[in-house]
């Protein structure tokens, strides 16, 4: 049995065409193109997700961005920068997700 892709784990047989497009077109073709590095694609994707408020997808893309060579400092700086272009609420939502993803959650008081 082969390991399932993230799309297969998330939506499986519920929407198989969306899984196919995600796996084959988005990650199999677009992300594999050599005109941009995976690092650059991750930075662009995180910025787009922050800008449109897609914090559900941001979680996995922040982790992918680290795998693709971006540092937590660079990603936090991108969020800070985007606060002035995407809006304060979106930046605050994104930094909360980043804090959780990067394991910097404060202990309960």
Q: What is the 3-state secondary structure (H, E, C) of the chain?
A: CCCCCHHHHHHHHHCHHHHHHHHHHHHHHHCCCCCCCHHHHHHHHHHHHHHCCCHHHHHHHHHHHHHCCCCHHHHHHHHHHHHHHHCHHHHHHHHHHHHHHCCCCCCCC
In a domain? residue 18: yes
In a domain? residue 1: no
How many domains is the chain partitioned into structurally? 2
d(CA 102, CA 6): 19
Tokens standing for 36? Answer: 């941009």
Reported as a single tens digit per residue, the pLDDT across 13-39 is 999 999 999 999 999 999 999 999 999
Question: DSSP code of 54?
Answer: -
Q: Are residue 30 and residue 41 in the same domain, yes or no?
A: no
pLDDT attached to residue 60: 94
List per-residue pLDDT tens for the chain, 109 residues long: 689 998 999 998 999 999 999 999 999 999 999 999 999 999 999 999 999 999 999 999 999 999 999 999 999 999 999 999 999 999 999 999 999 999 965 555 5
In a domain? residue 109: no
Domain coverage including residue 98: 37-104
Q: Are residue 30 and residue 43 in the same domain, yes or no?
A: no
Q: Are residue 99 and residue 81 in the same domain, yes or no?
A: yes
Whichever domain contains 98, its CATH number is: 1.20.1290.10
């Amino acid at each position: 049995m082969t390991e399932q892709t993230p799309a297969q784990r998330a939506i499986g047989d519920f929407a198989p065409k969306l899984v196919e497009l995600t796996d084959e077109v988005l990650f199999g073709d677009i992300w594999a193109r050599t005109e941009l590095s995976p690092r650059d694609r991750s930075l662009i994707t995180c910025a787009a997700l922050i800008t449109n408020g897609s914090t559900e997808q941001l979680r996995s893309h922040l982790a992918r961005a680290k795998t693709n060579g971006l540092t937590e400092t660079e990603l936090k700086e991108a969020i800070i920068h985007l606060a002035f272009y995407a809006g304060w609420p979106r930046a605050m939502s994104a930094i909360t997700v980043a804090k959780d993803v990067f394991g910097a959650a404060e202990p309960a008081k």
